[in-house]
Chain A
Amino acid sequence: MVNASPLVRVNQTTIVGAVLTVFGIAALVACFQIDIDRDGGWGARIFPLAGAGALAVLGLVELAKGLREGRSTPLPAFDGWAVAGLLVLALVYSWAIGLVGYLVSTAIVAPLALVLFGIRDWRGLLAAAVLSPLIYHLIFFVGLGVFPPYGRWFDLLDVIQGY
């Protein structure tokens, strides 16, 4: 017989199981927001329900497995600050492109990404701020003819093109 205190039972498997179950139940609820067909059929709901149901059931299986394990399996170690910093930078970058355009946002984000990875040489950072937007602009927007994302507030391309 396994004697496990409640604290020990809250291990990685239990947490993953709980999260999956909650996610599955939320998806099940969302499935019922999908309109039924004109003839009353569930055509558009069937597959989402199958996916959500499977997720909820698998979550419960994982939860039960975690509770049965009776031993603590630690959460995986991770470099929280670096990962959080990169995530924030990525989110801000994707938001900033729409506000100030590709050139300015990339000129700011390129050196910041290098700093996050441990580059401290200011000449390198300055070069990245100038060269990154220039090279990507030339390859994608000039070479491949992709239409660039213009900023809503300001865009350096407008200034360069004299608008």
Chain B
Amino acid sequence: MEIFLALGSVMTDPALMGWVLAAAIVGMIAGAIPGLTASAAIAMLLPLTFYMEPISALAFLYVIGKSGRYGGSISAILFNTPGTAASAATQIDGYPLARRGMASKAMKVATISSIIGDFTGDILLIVGVGAIAAIALSLGPPELFAIYFAAFVVIGSVIGKSITRGLASAALGVLVNMIGLDPISAKDRFTFGIFDLTNGISLVPLMIGIFVLGEVFSQIEQRHAPVEIIEDATGAEGKARNRLSWAEYRLCIPHVIRSSFIGAFIGVLPGLGSSIAAFVAYGEGKRRAKNPEEWGHGALEGVAAPEAANNAVSGPSMAPLLTLGIPGSTIGAILMGVFLIHGIQIGPTLFITSRELIFSLFACGLIGIAMYGVIGYFGAAWVGRFITKIPVKVLYPIIFLTAFIAAFASRGNLFDVLVMVIAGFGGWLMKKFDFNPAAFVISFVLAGGAEETFRQSLLLSHNGLLIFVTRPVALVFLIIGIAALVFRARTLSQQAKEASLKDA
């Protein structure tokens, strides 16, 4: 019921609707630009939102995240370059369709599937988040620490090619967060006598460095790579080929429904994110398909499944953030910063203190989906052509300059600019050497809460670390973390064995 009231309230606020519309357009363009992710766009635009109303700021960034995930499919299909990691699975069938002159049809399937997936994820979030928050209210510091532990291990080990490098990224995130004064005893940690470090490292310049400047470093290496658009077949025959009929889309529906639930489930788990959801949904779709031989060669179902899954992640990935204060994704980590900047304490009590704001945010999300859906259905090809007109040689120097002023504007501090530069180079190095920048940033954000709950648990305990084993919920989450690590290690080892057998 509250969501309908919130929808009514948002729709009668023209300024807020304007921000949601702007976010739908900006997110789509950012997601469609190869190399530029929704996270990068959000990190860069974050300082602008400091001067906005809390709901406008949150809605603007939240909808950019949604629209950006969808925007990635535009470049995956039209340029054969996924705009975001989440749309790499879409490229497998999307690009062959474009090569056959059916780019518009592939885009229509991607758009409809994205909308269905995103709506499914958001509706599940709206229905389920209250219950999760109620459960979260009953959790104490040991249980919360165990959840943090599981999140660290899952985030570090499940994404990326290497478990050790993923976990090392998470450990680095924890260490960087420790810089500054200890919040309890006010002791200096890793400050090395440098005054600027006593305030710690701020999230905003770190994010801008990792996701924005890091990408500029990557793009300067690819500055000579051309971006070419695949156009639709022309003439009456081309138009007919790109008309999407109900009979064609009906075959996609079972895949879209299944993938939406896969995406929503993966979305709730901290750190896994859209790209894993998309590939799991693609694999599951191909396994169950009646035409598996067509997948990989331009099957419409092969576009529908990953697109539904990667967008279904968006809503549920907010659940751990809103209920536990644990960001499940990099976008969640940035939104956490926005909540804190506007003085809103996130966690289970959020649904008591700021219920109206949260439901307004959900309403903005739903409206944002409808907006990017309409714009994408009728204008995706135009967006694609617009992007080919933006020369990379001009775009990335502009992004380079914007990163500096955005990092400065967050606190009006030149030290933050230096932090951003170092984080940018570090982020580029991490990508080069198969480390995991997302795990680094999410762990950086989680570390403060994890340390607080860990030390609170020890204060509550008479038996030291045993408190985490004697509390059943805490024990379950510790086991989940360890099980995820073991499972991932076994999967990677199996893959390595299979690869060496193939080589032999």
A binding-site residues for B, Cβ under 8 Å: 12, 16, 20, 24, 27, 30, 34-35, 37-38, 43-44, 46-48, 50-52, 54-55, 58-59, 61-62, 65, 76, 78-79, 82-83, 86-87, 90-91, 93-94, 97-98, 102, 106, 109-110, 113-114, 116-119, 128, 132, 136, 140, 144-147, 149
Residue on B nearest A19 in the bound complex, by CB: B433
Asked if residues B171 and A55 are in contact (CB atoms below 8 Å), the reply is yes
Q: Residues of A contacting B417 with CB < 8 Å?
A: 94, 97
B454 at the A interface (CB under 8 A): yes
List of A residues within 8 angstroms of B447 by Cβ: 47, 51
Question: Nearest 8 pairs between A and B by C-beta?
Answer: A51-B174, A113-B397, A44-B182, A54-B171, A79-B221, A51-B175, A47-B451, A117-B393
B412 interfacial by beta-carbon distance below 8 Å: yes
Question: Which secondary structure characterizes the binding site on chain A?
Answer: helix
Residues of B within 8 A of A (CB): 47-48, 51, 162, 164-165, 167-168, 171-172, 174-175, 178, 182, 184-185, 187-190, 192, 213, 216-217, 220-221, 223-224, 392-394, 396-397, 400-402, 404-405, 408-409, 412, 414, 417-418, 420-421, 424-425, 428, 432-433, 447, 450-451, 454-455
In the complex the two chains form, is A44's CB within 8 Å of B184's CB?
yes
Q: Which chain B residues lie closer than 8 Å to A76 at the CB level?
A: 432-433
B455 to chain A, nearest CB (A): 6
Pairwise interchain contact B172-A55, C-beta atoms closer than 8 A: yes
In the assembled complex, which residues on chain B have CB atoms less than 8 Å from the CB atom of A102?
A: 405
Most buried by B among A46, A61, A116: A116
- Nearest to A118 among chain B residues (CB) is B393
- A55 and B51 contact, CB distance less than 8 A: no
Whether A47 pairs with B397 at a CB distance below 8 angstroms is no
Q: List the B side residues contacting A51 at CB < 8 Å.
A: 171-172, 174-175, 178, 447
Question: What are 29 of the A-B contact pairs (CB < 8 Å)?
Answer: A16-B433, A20-B168, A30-B190, A35-B185, A46-B451, A47-B178, A47-B447, A51-B172, A51-B175, A52-B171, A52-B175, A55-B171, A55-B175, A58-B171, A61-B164, A76-B432, A78-B432, A86-B217, A91-B421, A97-B404, A109-B401, A114-B397, A116-B397, A117-B396, A136-B402, A140-B405, A145-B51, A149-B412, A149-B414
By the criterion CB–CB under 8 Å, are A140 and B409 in contact? yes
